[in-house]
Structure 1
Amino acid sequence: MSHAAYVFDAYGTLFDVHAAVRRHADAVGPDGQLLSEIWRAKQLEYSWTRALMGQWRDFWALTEEALDHAFERVPSADKGARAQLLDAYFKLDCYPEVPAVLKRLKAAGARVAILSNGSTEMLASAVENAALGAVIDDVFSVDSLQTFKTDPTVYDLVTTSYRLYPDAVSFQSSNRWDIAGATKFGFRTVWINRAKMPDEYLDLSPSLILPDLNGVG
Structure 2
Amino acid sequence: MSRRQFLRVVAGAGGLLGACRTTGAQPPVGGRAEIRAICFDLFTLFDPRGVERAAEAVAPGQAAELCRDWRVRQFEYAWLRATADQYRDFEFVTGEALDYAAGARGLSLSAAERRRLVAAYSELTPWPDTRAALDAWRRVGLRLAPLANYSPAMLDRLLTHAGLADLFDDQISTDRARTYKPSPRAYALGPTALGVPREQIVFAAFGGWDAAGAAWYGFPTFWLNRLQVAPEALSAAAHATGATLADLAAFVAA
Relative to the length of structure 2, the TM-score reads 0.79
2-structure distance, mates of 1:13, 1:137: 17
Q: C-alpha separation between the residues in 2 aligned to 1:89 and 1:108?
A: 30
Q: Deviations over 1:107-146 (max 9, x none)?
A: 1110111101111000000000111112111111112211
Moved over 3 A (4+): none
| Contiguous gaps of at least 5 residues in structure 1 | none
Change in 2 beyond 3 A, CA 1:137/1:163? closer
Alignment-mate amino acid for residue 247 of structure 2: G
Q: Partners in 2 of 1:85 and 1:29 — Cα distance?
A: 13
Conserved? CA contact 1:120–1:143, under 8 Å: yes
Q: Do the aligned partners of residues 199 and 163 (structure 1) sit closer, same or farther apart at CA in structure 2, a change above 3 Å counting?
A: same
| Conservation of the 8 A alpha-carbon contact between 2:177 and 2:189 | no
Task: Give TM-score scaled by structure 1 length.
Answer: 0.91
State the structure with bigger RCO (CA 8 A, min sep 6), 1 or 2.
Answer: 2
- Which of 160, 172, 196 is the equivalent residue of 2:192? 160
Q: Highest CA radius of gyration, 1 or 2?
A: 2
Aligned residues: 215
Q: Which runs of 5+ in 2 are unaligned?
A: 1-5, 7-33, 250-254
1:18 aligns with 2:49: yes
Corresponding residue for 1:139? 171
After superposition, residues 1-217 of structure 1 pair within 5 angstroms as 3-10=35-42, 12-75=43-106, 77=107, 79-80=109-110, 81-217=113-249
C-alpha distance in structure 1 between counterparts of 2:70 and 2:164, whole Å: 26
What SS is found at the alignment partner of 2:245? coil
SS in 2 for 1:214: helix
State how far apart, in whole Å, the 2-side matches of 1:126 and 1:153 are: 24
User: What secondary structure is seen at the aligned counterpart in 2 of 1:215?
Assistant: helix
CA shift at 1:30, angstroms? Answer: 0.2
In the TM superposition, what whole-angstrom CA distance separates every residue of 1:31-79 from its partner, at most 9, and x where no partner exists?
101111111111111111111121111100000011111111223x562
SS of corresponding position for 2:51? helix
Question: What are the Cα deviations for residues 154-178 of structure 1, in whole angstroms up to 9, with x where unaligned?
Answer: 1111112333221101000111111
**Aligned 8 A contact 2:91 2:118 in 1:** no
CA distance in 2, matches of 1:193, 1:61: 27
CA drift at 1:201: 4.1
Q: CA RMSD in A?
A: 1.7
Asked whether the equivalents of residues 101 and 216 of structure 1 are also in contact (C-alpha less than 8 Å), the reply is no
Contact 2:169 2:194 in 1 (8 A): no
State the identity as a percent.
33
